[in-house]
Chain A
């Protein structure tokens, strides 16, 4: 029983360690790319702002579409 407990604890530690490693790597990526390297002109900034709004609208559309389709599959239609 003791050996089984030790083994299951050891196996359980693997995903935790992988998850912790990934979180630390994500933090490193965030630090590394904290500031954009490219010199953005006014026009590019406006373009990126419009892109942000466009993407928000599209993501909302996708969310609606997904919910609608999942409901349709759930109701068997």
Chain B
């Protein structure tokens, strides 16, 4: 980070008051240029975590949202962008100031009970989510008649080779390429010629679809909420910030990185809803999952169906990479193993062993699971994730208010009000979500 530091020092120097207009303009341009270079050097964790948030499960959720409610819920997804930013931005500050990952921070601050609870819950959720990513990837590739076993083996090889470079930088740049592939849906949104009036109405005027707030709509809103903020994201981004070596002075750019990621994730979600709302809108018989959506789009446009399938595969791959790393980092931090992507396999054997163990086991189990068991795993992941989320968020806010550790980077009063409101909303909604998942007919009209 030495070069980054030098660039930062230069960019922060004030212009000479005696400069003429042209000199000031040149100085401003040079400063912006350097700031941009600095941002590009620091950017990564925020964009990756936010784009990876649109994983295979997320794509399915957005597909169903579009197919059931057309553009009526676009405003809700747009609102979720700032919520995700506010939560993830805290991990940037915490990681940059403490130089500790989220798991280690919870262990040190709250002791072993909460530490083990968070770690084991994270590991279980991550592993089950990995299975759902593999399910998504195999389903996407089955559209191209690729057998599941071949997909799983190729994913093992790709994910394995991505992290074996021994450099965080290399891993990050490869992952950013996969993030760019995630934007593959954007051209499809223009190709389907959606109604601009519907998009504007759905985005700018908060309203419920015709029929009002029903049990199914509530379930869908919560599913969208659950895919936007997930527990692994907190662990991943904080550990990633630490592994990258970001410092207190990089927090400003880390926040911008997270904000850019939040915008990208919302854009992807909105585009998916527009495409599915235009092509697959059928509230009476909605689409079951993203792979089915891709198949249904093939007769209308082979290009859109193909891009949809590629996007689903990419989303699953991106999610699997990040989720697997989140667990490996967490274990490394807590057990005191060497746990950096800057280490070679020989230097951090346990870290890499856990990553591969997680990867191989999730892939192998996916191949063994039958249809009903896959549905069970997918549902169970949602319930466990909603259980961990309130706990993880409460810990995050308490940690961000610890003046002894955070110094001048503690939450301000307004940040606490905003974050506490988010946590309360999440606790209330996720509890309802978990209850309605377990008892689907509890709130149904009799």
Enumerate chain A interface residues (CB-CB to B < 8 A).
25, 28-30, 32-39, 44, 47-48, 51, 54-55, 58-59, 61-62, 64-66, 68-70, 72-73
Contacts and interface: CB of A to CB of B under 8 A. Distances in A.
Given A29-B107, A36-B110, A65 B402 contact: no
Contact of B115 (A33, A47, A72): A33
Contacts of A54: 390, 427, 431
B390 A51 contact: yes
For the complex of A and B, 8 pairs with smallest distance between CB atoms:
A36-B111, A38-B109, A65-B438, A33-B107, A58-B387, A33-B112, A69-B376, A37-B108
Contact of A55 (B108, B117, B335, B376): B117
A7 B99 CA distance: 45
B112 A30 contact: yes
Nearest to B114: A48
B335 A65 contact: no
B383 A62 contact: yes
**Which interface class (under 10, 10 to 19, 20 to 34, 35 or more) fits B?**
35 or more
A55 B387 contact: yes
Interface in B102-144: 107-112, 114-115, 117
Given A30-B112, A69-B379, A61 B438 contact: yes
B260 to A, nearest CB: 32
B17 to A, nearest CB: 46
Interface stretch (B261-269, B310-318, B359-367, B391-399): B391-399
B434 interface: yes
Interface in B383-427: 383-384, 386-387, 390-391, 394, 398-399, 402, 404-405, 427
Contacts of B336: 25, 28-29, 32
Contacts of A70: 376
Contacts, number: 81
Find the residue from A33, A35, A54 having the highest chain B CB count within 10 A.
Answer: A33
A34 B399 CA distance: 18
A51 B391 contact: yes
Contacts of B210: none
Given A29-B107, A54-B390, A55-B391, A39 B404 contact: yes
Nearest to B376: A69
A73 B334 contact: no
A54 B386 CA distance: 12
B435 interface: yes
A73 B398 contact: no
Contacts of B398: 38, 44, 47
Contacts of A30: 112
A28 B107 CA distance: 13
Contacts of B107: 29, 32-33
Contacts of B386: 58
Given A36-B110, A51-B394, A29 B334 contact: yes
B372 interface: yes
A12 B110 CA distance: 38
Nearest to A36: B111
Nearest to B115: A33
B380 interface: yes
Contacts of A65: 379-380, 383, 437-438
A73 B109 contact: no
B14 to A, nearest CB: 39
A62 B335 CA distance: 28
Nearest to A21: B350
B373 interface: yes
Contacts of B394: 47-48, 51
15 contacts: A28-B336, A29-B335, A34-B111, A37-B108, A37-B109, A47-B398, A51-B391, A58-B387, A58-B434, A59-B387, A61-B383, A61-B438, A65-B379, A66-B380, A70-B376
B110 A38 contact: yes
Contact of B438 (A32, A51, A59, A64): A64
B122 to A, nearest CB: 14
Greatest chain B CB density within 10 A among A37, A47, A70 is at A37
Contacts of A69: 376, 379-380
Contacts of B387: 55, 58-59, 62
Nearest to A70: B376
Contact of B108 (A33, A64, A73): A33
Nearest to B104: A33
A29 B386 CA distance: 27
A48 B398 CA distance: 10
Given A33-B108, A33-B112, A62-B384, A38 B376 contact: no
